[in-house]
Amino acid sequence: MVPLRKITKARTSQELKRMIEDDKERGWKVGSTVNHFPHHSRPYQILMKFETDKECVKL
């Protein structure tokens, strides 16, 4: 099973970009498009997937 992770704490698009870059340094890759929920307190969300050197995982 592919390890997945959701980033749901971003309040702004800049904060989301920073969180994505932090996760990329740890081996996570972007697994979905950015979801924007305008009436939510933390409106920017994205799904990340983990890729190892042995396998390339596709969603």
Confidence of residue 44 (pLDDT cuts 50, 70, 90): very high
Query: DSSP H helical segments within the chain, as ranges?
Result: 13-25
pLDDT of 2 = 75
Count the domains in the chain: 1
In angstroms, rounded to a whole number, what is the distance separating the alpha carbons of residues 26 and 37?
A: 27
Residue 55 lies in a domain: no
* Domain interval for residue 44: 4-50
Bigger pLDDT: 50 vs 56: 50
Residue 44 lies in a domain: yes
Average pLDDT over residues 12-23: 94
Residue 26 lies in a domain: yes
Residue 13 lies in a domain: yes
